[in-house]
Amino acid sequence: MQPRWDEAIAAQGIPLKVRRDKSDSFVEPEGMVARMEELGIATLLLPSAEAAVDAAITDYERFASPPSVVADYAARYPDRFRGLVTINPSSGMAGVEQAGALAASPWVVGLHLHTHSWDRPFDHRDFYPFYALAADLDLPVVVQAGTSGGRMASECGRPIGIDRAALYFENLRFVLSHTGWPWGDEALAMAQKHPNVFLGTAAYPPRHWSPSLIEFIRGAGRGKVLLGTSFPAVGHRHALQQLAELDLSPDAHAALLAGSALRVFTRLVEAAS
């Protein structure tokens, strides 16, 4: 994957960084499992999608793990790797049926939306059949919220867009990933308002979290925020080292690293029981 990331970053000319520390960057699966053992990480969730043969060098699907790869990793390393099925709203009901077929696989723990690839707000009608599928299967939906990291429109990622969807699908768990930046307070408002809306920190290490997000994790938002990395943009070692600087209470720390995720991804709980 490393050449693909380098090629895409160079093609777009954007100031996106990926980890270059050999102890915290690209590695073969065996090495990642060893790293997880060292760092105390139980499970990694991998967004999964098939890339079209004519996919552009910056298309998101080129950087997701194909379903067959996630299935292989999950079989070879039980409980270490699980996957999220990527939503493709341009595929209509055929895409919903395909997502449903994949979601029957034991390695799938949720659906994933790379929001900016489609330039549609979270409450767009094209997403509702996928939300209905997730609700029927009791699977959460993780959405990339906030600005785009690439040269794609960002307005569709405004966290407030989840408001109507969260009301309509009141039993469906949504995760607003990427902290919602630069609309962080909007993301916090949605997580405070809706019992079924959670926040994810992927793509931003703790030193880049806003004071309001940190206070939310410490107090009213305990159990509503999930640690994420968007690896390799943020390395797991890098995120955990900075997390230690926040001086969280044991309860807040445990909720951020495990408790919130187990509330959201209930198939992880089922697999462990």
- pLDDT for the residue numbered 44: 97
> Is 65 inside any structural domain?
yes
- pLDDT for the residue numbered 168: 98
> Is 78 inside any structural domain?
yes
> Is 6 inside any structural domain?
no
> Is 200 inside any structural domain?
yes
User: Residue 86: CB partners within 8 Å, gap ≥ 6?
Assistant: 47, 48, 49, 60, 61, 64, 111, 112, 113, 114
Query: How much is the mean pLDDT over the chain?
Result: 93
> Is 3 inside any structural domain?
no
What is the CATH number for 92?
Answer: 3.20.20.140
What's the domain range around 181? 16-272
Q: How far apart are CA 138 and CA 52, in angstroms?
A: 29
In contact, 199 and 175? CB cutoff 8 Å: yes
Number of domains forming the structure of the chain: 1
Q: Where are the alpha helices (DSSP H) in the chain?
A: 2-12, 29-39, 67-76, 92-103, 128-137, 162-168, 184-193, 211-218, 236-243, 250-254, 260-264, 266-272
- pLDDT for the residue numbered 12: 75
> Is 258 inside any structural domain?
yes
- pLDDT for the residue numbered 149: 79
- Closest of 82, 47, 64 to residue 262, by C-alpha: 82
- pLDDT for the residue numbered 273: 58
User: Residue 32: CB partners within 8 Å, gap ≥ 6?
Assistant: 44
- CA 20, distance to chain mean position in Å, is 21
Greatest alpha-carbon span in the chain: 49
CA-based end-to-end distance of the chain = 34
pLDDT in tens, the chain (273 residues): 888 777 777 777 766 666 678 899 999 999 999 999 999 999 999 999 998 878 787 788 888 999 999 999 999 999 999 999 999 999 999 999 999 999 999 999 999 999 999 999 999 999 999 999 999 999 999 999 999 877 889 999 999 999 999 999 999 999 999 999 999 999 999 999 999 999 999 999 999 999 999 999 999 999 999 999 999 889 999 999 999 999 999 999 999 999 999 999 999 987 765
Q: How far apart are CA 212 and CA 7, in angstroms?
A: 36
> Is 221 inside any structural domain?
yes
Q: Which helix or strand (DSSP H or E) is residue 84 part of? A: strand 81-86
> Is 8 inside any structural domain?
no
